[in-house]
Amino acid sequence: MELAFAQARAAAGRGEVPVGAVVVRDGVVLAAAGNRTLADRDPTAHAEMLAIRAAAAAIGSERLIGCDLYVTLEPCPMCAGAIAFARIRRLYYGAGDPKGGAVDHGVRLFAQPTCHHAPDVYGGIGETEAGDLLRDFFRARR
């Protein structure tokens, strides 16, 4: 999770919302990314999406069987859908997102009967640090 926080801090340094994500399989980091929606001018360039794409390219498969995703903020509906389609084994996330989250808030995508795959979910990992990063980022913008 520390690598995900490093990616989030780097994103904040670039003026992006500080979210970081890392994909790991068998203790090996396959991909790490921070948000790049502004830099890429791409609304889908969330940290999770970028890390999932890079991990899939690294292993040469669209299925990330046996992979775990560490992310500093509860994934949104788009990212939760990608997590399900990628068949991520476990999701670890930091701060919950009551407004935009889709795992333990909002649509609760993985609990829906139409969800193709639901990872094991562990929320609140480094929640205080994740929340502080986000609060500090937005406070500085106001």
- Each residue's pLDDT, cut to its tens digit, for the chain (142 residues) gives 999 999 999 999 999 999 999 999 999 999 999 999 999 999 999 999 999 999 999 999 999 999 999 999 999 999 999 999 999 999 999 999 999 999 999 999 999 999 999 999 999 999 999 999 999 999 998 7
Contacts of 123 (CB under 8 A, 6+ apart): 74, 92, 93, 94, 96, 103, 104
Q: What is the pLDDT of residue 87?
A: 98
Rounded to two decimals, what is the model's pTM?
A: 0.96
Domain 1-140: CATH superfamily is Cytidine Deaminase, domain 2 (3.40.140.10)
Residues marked active site are found at: 48
Structural domain boundaries in the chain: 1-140
Which residues are annotated as part of the binding site for Zn(2+)? 46, 76, 79
